[in-house]
Amino acid sequence: MRIFILSLLLQFRCGAELLSEMYGSLQSPNFPEPYPRDTELNWNIGVPDGFRISLFFSHFDLEPSYLCEYDFVKVKADGEVLAVFCGKEETDTEEVPTQQVITSPRNSLSIQFVSDFSNEERFSGFMAHYSAVDVDECSQRSDEDQLCDHFCHNFIGGYYCSCRYGYQLHTDNHTCRVECSGAVFKERSGILSSINFPSPYPKSSDCSYRIEVEEGFRLRLQFDPRFDVEDHPDITCPYDHVKVGSSHSCPITHTLRCLLIGSVSDPSRKQRVWTVLWRSVSRVHPDRQQRRLHPFPQR
């Protein structure tokens, strides 16, 4: 019982009325009659993620005071004060809401009304209205900070991403991946480049290519010296990398004539390019074959 009374007292002192509808209104006590002195009222407005709150005052008449130190309405969001209002007319030191619409940065907003120990006159208080407004996630970002790799679609209460033809949406629902695994090359020579070459390769991709040449030959790879894959000054290839090796997808008897090239990129946007040339080299005369390998422009 004692705990119950204590919690009631706490609610009375610090409690706030919770408003979770998509729209609604709030007003000073006794509105449109004069509000009482010595009063504090709080409202916390909360709407679902993907919405913001816009607040508008249709009536405002509080006791005026220097810097609103007597009676005031304070609007806050995420611990930050968005506005403090008092009086009825705008002055150099006091603000009234007039026609302005306050929009919360996120999906919550709190409003505090305080009257001090006296009212010099009869002040009719305030009437305010709020509504949830959709956040247009697609239009808020700069090019560098886009939510979606390719296309962003806004809808009321959220947004979704989609990708250009040939790409698939990653499970993170933001990144577009390209399907690039499973290709097998059996030609005697060829050039393999990063996806989209000469444009940068896409982020969050994980590609693997198998190259296999005839028996009696082995594979020689030569990377274009303009090879440019995101690196790190201290750590070896922590982000993107191209890996060359044999693999379980190469039959064990095919050592040296079957290679797997894997290319992995992380979700960051620092993609670049790579190109590799492969050639089958006779096991008998490897040196003679090597001399013909000058496929890339010299620097």
For position 94 contacting Ca ion by CB under 5 A, the verdict is no
For position 119 contacting Ca ion by CB under 5 A, the verdict is yes
Rounded to a whole number of angstroms, the minimum distance from the CB of residue 151 to Ca ion is 14
Strands 181-185 and 206-212: parallel
Candidates 25-33, 64-72, 104-112, 242-250; binding stretch for Ca ion (CB under 5 A)? 64-72
- Cβ nearer to Ca ion, comparing 46 with 200: 46
Contact (Cβ atoms closer than 8 angstroms) between residue 277 and residue 289: no
For position 124 contacting Ca ion by CB under 5 A, the verdict is no
- Cβ nearer to Ca ion, comparing 70 with 201: 70
Residues between 202 and 231 with contacts to Ca ion, criterion CB under 5 A? none
- Cβ nearer to Ca ion, comparing 128 with 135: 135
**Phi, psi torsion values for 7, nearest 5 degrees:** -70, -35
From the list 51, 57, 60, 70, which residue makes contact with Ca ion (rule: CB under 5 A)?
Answer: 70
- Cβ nearer to Ca ion, comparing 67 with 183: 67
Q: How many CB atoms lie within 10 A of CB 291?
A: 7
For position 116 contacting Ca ion by CB under 5 A, the verdict is yes
Q: Which residues pair with 53 in a beta bridge?
A: 132
Rounded to a whole number of angstroms, the minimum distance from the CB of residue 21 to Ca ion is 19
Residues between 140 and 169 with contacts to Ca ion, criterion CB under 5 A? 154, 159
Task: Using alpha carbons, select from 260, 239, 240, 241 the residue that is nearest to residue 249.
Answer: 260
Helix H or strand E encompassing 176: strand 176-178
Rounded to a whole number of angstroms, the minimum distance from the CB of residue 49 to Ca ion is 10
- Cβ nearer to Ca ion, comparing 89 with 287: 89
Contact (Cβ atoms closer than 8 angstroms) between residue 277 and residue 293: yes
From the list 61, 63, 94, 212, which residue makes contact with Ca ion (rule: CB under 5 A)?
Answer: 63
- How big is the site for Ca ion, counted in residues (CB under 5 A)? 10
For position 71 contacting Ca ion by CB under 5 A, the verdict is yes
For position 39 contacting Ca ion by CB under 5 A, the verdict is no
Candidates 69-77, 222-230, 237-245, 250-258; binding stretch for Ca ion (CB under 5 A)? 69-77
- Residues sharing a CB contact under 8 Å with residue 258, sequence separation 6 or more, in sequence order: 210, 211, 212, 213, 219, 246, 250, 251
Contact (Cβ atoms closer than 8 angstroms) between residue 36 and residue 84: no
Lookup: tokens for 108: 């919550």
Contact (Cβ atoms closer than 8 angstroms) between residue 105 and residue 52: yes
Contact (Cβ atoms closer than 8 angstroms) between residue 273 and residue 197: yes
Rounded to a whole number of angstroms, the minimum distance from the CB of residue 112 to Ca ion is 15
Rounded to a whole number of angstroms, the minimum distance from the CB of residue 110 to Ca ion is 21
Give the full edge-to-edge strand order of the sheet including 217-223: 189-193, 275-282, 217-223
Rounded to a whole number of angstroms, the minimum distance from the CB of residue 136 to Ca ion is 6
Contact (Cβ atoms closer than 8 angstroms) between residue 223 and residue 279: no
Query: What 3-state DSSP class applies to 266?
Result: coil
Give the separation between CA 169 and CA 93, rounded to whole angstroms: 53
- Cβ nearer to Ca ion, comparing 29 with 182: 29
- Cβ nearer to Ca ion, comparing 138 with 180: 138
- Cβ nearer to Ca ion, comparing 95 with 231: 95
Chain residues in the site for Ca ion (CB under 5 A): 63, 70-71, 115-116, 119, 134-135, 154, 159
